[in-house]
């Protein structure tokens, strides 16, 4: 079992008393294929969640549109009543119609009903952190500019009602983050970032200076897993897996980075959490930097 004290160190969300281990758990993969429908094995999903908590995970990322509803329902079944130190983070801004597609849910009514779905299915009176998920580039998971003031104001109103304790933002540009911060405090940003996908390098450093958490989604490449002979070579030399090294690199990248790798397997969960114990030398970090340089050159 992973040492509870070695999950990447501790991080406190700005302006809050919420302190978490930097290695957490993302619940997206607990839903069915395509993040749609019930878990293929609910008993296994419950085992993964309980193992995560037993291993020291105190930060779970979820959303009620995973499934929809099923992921939060299995979290409640596995863990409620929740440990006192568990921070649950969810997100609003999308809906899943019967065809399994991902559609924006940006109106005040949709955001409010989405929050109440999260509260009901998680069995909570208030949620620690709610991210507004910007549905940016319709062709994929990229960002796109455009005002999000209206949606952030809705979340700020729900915060005033005591239903949301803190607000974050996901899939957002620096301009949108700055706009959101003029309306309410933003405690975390959740964007696509990994060893190869590094458009947010400057943003991460800017947020670190403000003490704001940066939570990469697709830390291992998402639907197209990271592929690199250099990564494989480094991992082999460390008696680790390439994905463990990729996660360890993220923890080394900046102290405000929090990880939420997801899995529906206990064995894979243990493997992910063990990445927090890997130490990367300066020479290794230099080798890994070369992966991004090569990938950038290939796309030019």
pLDDT in tens, 52-71: 999 999 999 999 999 999 99
Question: How much of the chain exceeds pLDDT 90, in percent?
Answer: 86
Q: Supply φ then ψ for residue 137, to 5 degrees.
A: -70, 115
Give which of 277, 280, 247, 278 is closest to 263, Cα–Cα. 247
Residue 65 phi, psi dihedral angles, 5° rounding:
-85, 5
Q: Is the pLDDT of residue 298 over 80?
A: no
99: Cβ contacts below 8 Å, ≥ 6 apart = none
Q: In the prediction, which pLDDT does 299 show?
A: 54
Does residue 140 have a pLDDT over 90? no
**Whole-number Cα distances in Å, 246 to 4, 5, 154:** 21, 20, 36
Catalytic (active-site) positions: 66
Task: Delineate the domains of the chain, giving CATH numbers in brackets.
Answer: 4-223+255-263 (3.20.20.100)
DSSP for 97-139, please give it. -TT---EE--SHHHHHHHHHHHHHHHT-SSEEEEEEE----TT
């Amino acid at each position: 079992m992973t040492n509870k004290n070695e999950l990447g160190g501790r991080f406190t969300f700005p302006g809050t008393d919420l302190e978490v281990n930097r290695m957490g758990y993302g619940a997206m993969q607990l839903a069915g294929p395509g993040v749609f429908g019930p878990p293929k094995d609910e008993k296994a999903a419950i085992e993964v969640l309980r193992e995560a908590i037993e291993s020291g995970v105190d930060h779970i990322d979820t959303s009620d549109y995973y499934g929809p509803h099923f992921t939060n329902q299995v979290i409640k079944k596995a863990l409620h009543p929740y440990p006192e130190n568990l921070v649950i983070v969810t997100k609003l801004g999308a809906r899943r119609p019967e065809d399994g597609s991902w559609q924006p849910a940006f109106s005040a009514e949709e955001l409010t009903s989405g929050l109440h779905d999260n509260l009901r299915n998680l069995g909570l009176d208030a949620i620690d952190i709610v991210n507004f998920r910007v549905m940016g580039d319709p062709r994929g998971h990229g960002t796109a500019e455009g005002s999000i003031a209206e949606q952030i104001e809705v979340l700020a109103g729900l915060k005033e009602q005591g239903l949301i304790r803190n607000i974050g933002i996901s899939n957002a540009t620096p301009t949108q983050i700055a706009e959101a911060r003029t309306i309410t405090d933003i405690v975390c940003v959740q964007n696509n970032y990994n060893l190869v996908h590094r458009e947010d390098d400057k943003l991460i450093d800017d947020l670190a200076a403000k003490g704001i958490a940066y939570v990469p989604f697709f830390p291992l490449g998402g639907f197209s897993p990271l592929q690199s002979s250099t990564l494989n070579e480094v991992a082999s030399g460390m008696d680790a897996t390439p994905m463990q090294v990729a996660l360890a690199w993220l923890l080394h990248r900046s102290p405000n980075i929090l990880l939420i790798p997801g899995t529906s397997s206990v064995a894979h969960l243990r493997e992910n959490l063990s990445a927090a114990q890997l130490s990367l030398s300066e020479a290794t970090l230099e080798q890994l930097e070369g992966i991004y340089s090569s990938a950038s050159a290939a796309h030019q």
